[in-house]
Amino acid sequence: MADINVKKIDLGKESIGVLSPLQSDIMKVLWERDSQRVRYIHNKLKSNGTALTSIAVDLDRLHKKGMVSRTVGTARGGPHYIYSVKKTKEEFHKSLLEGTVDKLIDKFGSVAVDYFNERFSKNEKKR
């Protein structure tokens, strides 16, 4: 039997909370040092040529997704947002994995559950 190479699985209208490459870079900066202004994040990422406005837009998107919170701070330049992560990196990975597994089970039912059980039992035998 030939292997089938599947590049994409349609899990319905709801997407799995995957981040864009820039959003992923922004989250890495915030996971390293939480509660930062857009300017700080831009300075950390400017080596890859990302504009400050692109970072500000993606931070707003991450805020709308519930990934980051923001508060208003003031400084010499006037009011600005300070962004903080809502989940640790580990919590985010766990929720991403849970969402993916739940959607696979919803889509494929008992086939997915049987596969996971089989896969876990193989891993236990290797230990």
pLDDT in tens, 102-114: 888 888 899 988 9
Residue 71, CA distances (Å) to 14, 25, 55, 61, 63 in order: 29, 21, 17, 15, 11
- Taking the C-alpha atoms of residue 43 and residue 52, their distance in angstroms, rounded to an integer, is 9
- Taking the C-alpha atoms of residue 37 and residue 70, their distance in angstroms, rounded to an integer, is 9
Q: The pTM is what?
A: 0.74
| DSSP type of residue 82 | E
Q: Which of 50, 48, 49, 41 is nearest to 83 (CA)?
A: 41
pLDDT in tens, 30-46: 999 999 999 999 999 98
Q: Which of 96, 78, 79 is nearest to 87 (CA)?
A: 96
Is the pLDDT confidence value at 48 over 80?
yes
Instruction: Give φ, ψ of 102 to 5 degrees.
Output: -60, -45
Look at residue 11 in the predicted model and tell me its pLDDT: 59
